[in-house]
Amino acid sequence: MASLRDIRRKIVSIKKTQQITKAMKMVAAAKLRRAQERVIAARPYSRKMLAVIASLASRVERLQHPLLAKREPKKVKLLVLTSDRGLCGAYNTNILRKAVEAVREFQAQGKEVRVNIVGRKGRDFFRKRSSYNVGQTWSDLGMIDYEKAANVGKNIVERFTAGETDEVYLLYNEFKSVMQQNVTLEKLLPVEPPAEADPFTAAVDYLYEPSAVAILTSILPKHIEVQVYRALLESQASEMGARMTAMDSATRNAKDLIGRLTLKFNKTRQAAITKEISEIVGGAEALK
C-alpha cells in the first residue's frame, strides 16, 4: 500500500503536469486562431486558381507544357505533410497510417513510389523503415509563409519536369474544425481538367497574349506553389486544433486523477489515524 508521502508526491507531480498542459492548450488556442484566419484567406484564391488552371488544361494541348504531360504512371511521388512536434493526439498517426496505405496501394498497381516528407515526425517514421524509398525532406519550417511553400513547390516542379516522376500526390490533414481534421489525398501533377465540364463553356477557347505556352509557363509553376502553400496552412491549422484538443483532454484527465489521488490520500490518512487511536486505546486498556 502506497504511503502518504508517495501519494502526496504523485499529486504534486500531476499538478505540475497539469499546469504545463493547460499552458500548452492556451498557446495552441492562440496559434490556432491565426492559422485558421490564414487558411480561410488562402482557400478562395487557391480554389479559383485551380479552376482556372483546370479550365486551361482542358483547352490546350498537353504537349505545350511539361507540367501538363500525361505519361504512363510508373513512378509516383507522394508528398506527406506532418508536424515537427508531438503532443497533438492522433494528428500524425492518422496521416502516417494513410501514407502507408497509399504506398501499398500504389505498389500493388506496379508503381514505384518515392516519399517526400514535410515535418520531423514523418521523416523519423519513414527513415526507421528501410522498406520505403524516402526522397527530399523538409523540417523545422515554423510558421508557414509563401516562400517556404514555394521552395517545396519548386522542388516538385523540377523533379516532374526532369521526368523523375510521372505523378505527384499530396497527402495532408484538411482543417474542418477544432475537433475535426480530414486526411486528404490529392493529385497534384499532372494537372487534370475538371471531371464535369460546363457544356455551355466547354467549347469556348481563349485568345492568348503573348501565347498559350508563355502563359502556362508563367502560371503553372505558381499554381503548384499555391496548392502546396494552402495544404501547408491546412496542416498547420489542423495541428494546432489537434494539439489544443489533446491538451484540453490531458488537463481534464489530470484534474480527475488529482481528485482520485486526493480521495485516496484522505482515506489512507484516516486509516492511519484510526489505527493509531486503536493502538492508544488498546494500550490504555492493557494498563488497567
Residue 213 phi, psi (nearest 5): -65, -45
Pairing of strands 75-81, 112-118: parallel
Q: DSSP 3-state assignment of 117?
A: strand
**CA angle, 51 as apex, 46 and 54 as ends, to 5°?**
120
How far is the C-alpha of 191 from the C-alpha of 184, rounded, in Å? 17
Partners of 113 in beta bridges: 76
CA dihedral 246, 247, 249, 250 (to 10 degrees): 120
Which residues form the catalytic set? 88
Single-letter amino acid, residue 165: T
How far is the C-alpha of 238 from the C-alpha of 248, rounded, in Å? 15
Cβ of 142: how many Cβ atoms within 10 Å?
8
Residues 6+ apart with CB under 8 A from 94: 173, 181, 183
Q: DSSP 3-state assignment of 210?
A: coil
CB 120 within 8 A of CB 111: no
How far is the C-alpha of 125 from the C-alpha of 189, rounded, in Å? 25
Nearest CA to 135 among 205, 75, 182, 68? 75
